[in-house]
Structure 1
């Protein structure tokens, strides 16, 4: 079976509670459409055969055929006789020679463009490769020089670290999924922020974790920004989760930073319960104008229980998303356990990419400074543009990171995302960052894009907003669960 083939069972799970009082084929088509827009059905995925899906859902083949036809007519499916139906986004094209104007502006991936010096560093790193060619190239821990460089980087930032405490991974998401698989048993309670990074809670759930959400609020007028500390500590004390996942620096998507004193209290509360806390610091050094000094989250851990503080990092946000290198900083014993568990799924991180990152770490201070300049301009450009076009929206003040968590003033985020799609703009709705359909009043908008993309995005968003206000979608009862 193709890796992009969705089975009827998988699609049934994604659909959830999709039925409404209206026609079954329309409800099914709407649900598949929203899942495609949301990215839970990746484009180019082959949907199950009509007969198979009908049998799985208890529908006639005619009903599924009608739903697929509606999706094809709207541009969300491309069907070839004998080859099945493939998920598409309308406006995208199968013709590689088609003009770029036909492309969708995708702001769902909040990433900076590649650092300009990357190609030169990659060329230099290739010269370091020959000395590694005598080995197998399979190493679940990572090459020694990169582990030493990462340990030194943590020491320079105030967190004593030895190379034995570092594992190099294939990006941060790989690190999170591996930690979840090793540390969670099915049914274990797991503390998580809400809103949060969607792929993190997906990995925690996939490992069998029962998510225990604790709220984080953006810096908005009339709101107490940051983590709900009483609820967080209470969740630790009463639910005794085995694991917690936090983003203490420029939290995604709210942009909040956890104060140093609060970090110490949270880590102390976790230590009392024996809860392991994962700190995702992939965007932790992308500060713009944050006041104060902030080291790694684990630097505030209880000296008696350093094993309970784990750090995840990567170069995906700072250098380039296509450079798939991340890492885990943890207790040496856990690193050995992770290495053993990793071999069941992969045999290590590509050596050449590790050599590139080893050299990049030497350039990192300068890279971060150049990134701050880009992000400052992008943030200010977006804040000004939103104020001009959407004066009724509440825009938070952020001092770093890559996104704004904007309050729309009404629960229409999913509707706005759908309307924006018709204008050629792809933006995930607020509920994508919540658990079980929350945050319909919010929209995550990245400011890491350049001066050419942002005006186009704002114009498309303004058109979508006006279109939505003129023609609001009916409440289907399930829109927020999907988009």
Structure 2
């Protein structure tokens, strides 16, 4: 959604998002149609956005006006666009599509369709038992009014204890409980920035964070951390842009899986602080070290030169369950007090029962983590093996943690794959959804959150979708390449 206006999108911007529609194996109009459908479906082109005039878009794409006319016609016939004489053409979600389409969150499961767009594991086996325990705890809370701005004391204590155990002494006054990690990011951005302020983001990064920044009126500054070390690239960009904040993931970054060791963190945080940029560190994947190779590392907050120089956010959606909407912020005492006031004005207080479940989850965290990590490790290795068999031309560095592989497809076909995927019973998130413009169309994030038999079938469908995009000549190509470990 970066740079997309709700009322209309210019020809230059749409051409940038669509990429080179002339480079596909099929007709250019079909490539353009598919690209627009993907943009609408994943939210980068919100429903109701007016498309540019055909002549202007044709000029930017360097295709004939007939190509754009045909694409617009097909979009209307398939229910992805409407038109009215004198008003132009605007995109829409087809009838029957979920209302959450265009939002970075899994929609309702559709029969037989495998979701490889989102990395959202099912709940661990013992969660229902923990919910039962939390319900028993609820009895003691019912005699009170039920409001605890900033979070129940018992939950804040456990979150603070977890930080202390990881090497960052923390008291509960520095913790604010939120409605999930993304809500925590939202509150941090609102506290630290205003409309028009620049915020550094790793490139690629988490799509919902890009959407959040756009909605807040902040100006995301993409920093290519795959080409340069994060501890060098981010502070340099902060100096050049006067960014107010930097959103980053040091633990198994989403989507790349990159992990920053202690030395890198010790260099990064002071450098950002010297440039006046507060680090918003997303620790959503911090508990998902699958190999133990990372070893004990200190949270980024341990390396901050001042207690308010880092805002750490986290949550239980990945280590436990996405339906448990409990997250948190750790920061300095004064910033935490301001965030609690901001939270109270919009929510008053988080829901009590969910917080009690979170207390039980944190009390059982080591047991839950052992189960989660063991299953994810097996699924990751299974997915790597199946991709090597079915799609040997794809390459990826196997991450030491997290929830997904970041695959190099060898060609800019990610958007095309996402467009044909529904025909093969798949939902995919194209690589450009994780960045700005049309970057990463040669990449695809493939989560390993499903059980092994489902992953086997998902890779078979991926292969059929890839063959569909490549065409018969490429499907017969026996060239193979190794997956990089």
TM above 0.5: yes
Q: Secondary structure at the match of 1:306?
A: coil
CA contact (8 A) 2:291 2:400 kept: yes
- What is the rounded CA distance, in whole Å, between the counterparts of 1:67 and 1:316 in structure 2? 40
State the Cα deviation string for residues 97-145 of structure 1 (Å, max 9, x = none): xxx9843211111021101111111111111112222333333301111
2:240 to 222, 238, 241: 238
CA contact (8 A) 1:216 1:254 kept: no
- What is the rounded CA distance, in whole Å, between the counterparts of 1:347 and 1:461 in structure 2? 45
2:41 to 37, 40, 50: 37
Q: How does the TM-score come out when normalised to structure 1? A: 0.80
Trace 1:375-414 onto structure 2 (pairs within 5 A).
375-414=376-415
In structure 2, the partner of 1:418 is 419
Residues 253 and 101 from structure 1, CA distance in 2 versus in 1: closer, same or farther, beyond 3 angstroms?
A: closer
CA contact (8 A) 2:79 2:95 kept: yes
Q: Secondary structure at the match of 1:421?
A: helix
In structure 1, the partner of 2:320 is 319
- What is the rounded CA distance, in whole Å, between the counterparts of 1:346 and 1:315 in structure 2? 19
In structure 2, the partner of 1:10 is 6
Residues 435 and 86 from structure 1, CA distance in 2 versus in 1: closer, same or farther, beyond 3 angstroms?
A: closer
In structure 2, the partner of 1:149 is 158
Residues 422 and 400 from structure 1, CA distance in 2 versus in 1: closer, same or farther, beyond 3 angstroms?
A: same
CA contact (8 A) 1:41 1:87 kept: no
- What is the rounded CA distance, in whole Å, between the counterparts of 2:71 and 2:349 in structure 1? 43
Q: Secondary structure at the match of 1:199?
A: helix
Residues 32 and 306 from structure 1, CA distance in 2 versus in 1: closer, same or farther, beyond 3 angstroms?
A: same
2:137 to 128, 135, 139: 128
Q: CA deviation at 1:363?
A: 0.4
In structure 1, the partner of 2:265 is 263
Greater shift in the superposed pair: 203-212 or 123-132: 203-212
Q: Secondary structure at the match of 2:469?
A: helix
Residues 16 and 356 from structure 1, CA distance in 2 versus in 1: closer, same or farther, beyond 3 angstroms?
A: farther
- What is the rounded CA distance, in whole Å, between the counterparts of 2:400 and 2:229 in structure 1? 16
- What is the rounded CA distance, in whole Å, between the counterparts of 1:16 and 1:312 in structure 2? 36
- What is the rounded CA distance, in whole Å, between the counterparts of 2:111 and 2:79 in structure 1? 13
In structure 1, the partner of 2:482 is none
CA contact (8 A) 2:37 2:419 kept: no
In structure 2, the partner of 1:294 is 297
Greater shift in the superposed pair: 106-115 or 127-136: 127-136
- What is the rounded CA distance, in whole Å, between the counterparts of 1:232 and 1:309 in structure 2? 14
**Structure 1 stretches (4+) deviating beyond 6 angstroms?**
19-22, 25-29, 56-59, 66-69, 89-92
Q: CA deviation at 1:194?
A: 0.5
In structure 1, the partner of 2:94 is 87
**Structure 1: segments with no counterpart, 5+ residues:** 1-7, 60-65, 79-84, 93-99, 218-223, 473-483
- What is the rounded CA distance, in whole Å, between the counterparts of 2:41 and 2:74 in structure 1? 15
- How many residues matched? 433
Q: CA deviation at 1:38?
A: 1.8
- What is the rounded CA distance, in whole Å, between the counterparts of 1:127 and 1:436 in structure 2? 50
1:274 to 273, 276, 279: 276
**Structure 2: segments with no counterpart, 5+ residues:** 23-28, 55-69, 83-91, 100-108, 474-485
CA contact (8 A) 1:121 1:356 kept: yes
In structure 1, the partner of 2:185 is 176
Q: CA deviation at 1:254?
A: 0.5
Q: CA deviation at 1:378?
A: 0.7
Greater shift in the superposed pair: 306-315 or 69-78: 69-78
Q: Secondary structure at the match of 2:405?
A: strand
Q: How does the TM-score come out when normalised to structure 2? A: 0.80
Q: CA deviation at 1:237?
A: 2.7
In structure 2, the partner of 1:367 is 368
State the Cα deviation string for residues 243-283 of structure 1 (Å, max 9, x = none): 01110000000101011111011111022123210110011
- What is the rounded CA distance, in whole Å, between the counterparts of 2:98 and 2:132 in structure 1? 37
Trace 1:326-475 onto structure 2 (pairs within 5 A).
326-470=327-471
